[in-house]
Amino acid sequence: MGKSAYHDVVTDIEICEKNNGRAGGETALVVVSKTFPGEQIIPILNAGARIFGENRVQEAAAKWPQLRDQFDSIKLHLIGPLQSNKAAEAVKLFDVIQTIDREKIAAAISKEMKKQNKNLQLFVQVNIGCEEQKAGVLPQDAVEFVSLCREKYQLRVTGLMCIPPNNESPAPHFEHLRNLSKMCDCQYLSMGMSADYKTAIEFGASHVRVGSAIFGKREATKPSV
């Protein structure tokens, strides 16, 4: 695990793009660094990775400012649920927020971007499997919600994101999100993780979020409060 695993994933992405008739470099690798400390992230940065995903604003704030002092051109994606009281810090720290999923968050992000004079790239999270325990707008509400974000709050929604159900084939869900993205006029699709990123590339993913295949298994963490 570590640097060699990162290079293996990069190679796999290149092969998948070629096998599916896609241009090389079309799929961005978001290295999911949540729960891993800076000393484990530095080798991946040294290997060339520059796009990273974090689940929690507070955790990201504790490690990424120092890493950004050491490395240029880092792009940080928030890929975990966002609370409105963390909107100011999230807008300050992240370059992309992939988890816009309700109007309260859209309003808070819009307010903070105006205050901080920033224009982040935003994705709407879709609860593609309609699972009660997961965040995200329901698929049937996605088009209306994206329009709300763009028209009422002037948000730059450029993509959709999903996490398919664990116990089902991801392919139909990836296809569903791809179809929704066309209806929403979204350029980007964030879908696919360590277990299914190759399938996601087949269905047009622009971003795949890979962590454990690079860093190894995570230790169990306590839920945030």
Q: Is residue 121 part of a domain?
A: yes
Q: Is residue 47 part of a domain?
A: yes
CA distance 41 to 10: 16
The answer to whether the beta carbons of residues 13 and 222 sit under 8 Å apart is no
70 in the Ramachandran plot: left (φ > 0), alpha (ψ -120 to 50) or beta? alpha
Residue 130: phi and psi, rounded to 5, are 50, 45
Q: Is residue 224 part of a domain?
A: no
Q: Is residue 180 part of a domain?
A: yes
Residue 162 has pLDDT above 60, yes or no: yes
Total domains in the chain come to: 1
Provide the domain limits for residue 149. 3-215
Q: Is residue 225 part of a domain?
A: no
* pLDDT (tens digit per residue) in 110-126: 999 999 999 999 999 99
The answer to whether the beta carbons of residues 88 and 112 sit under 8 Å apart is yes
- Mean pLDDT, rounded, for 128-138: 96
For residue 56, the Cα-to-chain-centroid distance in whole angstroms is 12
pLDDT at position 70: 96
pTM: 0.94
Q: Is residue 223 part of a domain?
A: no
Provide the pLDDT confidence category of residue 225 given band limits of 50, 70 and 90.
Answer: very low
Q: What is the CATH number of the domain that holds 111?
A: 3.20.20.10
* pLDDT (tens digit per residue) in 165-211: 999 999 999 999 999 999 999 999 999 999 999 999 999 999 999 99
For residue 180, the Cα-to-chain-centroid distance in whole angstroms is 17
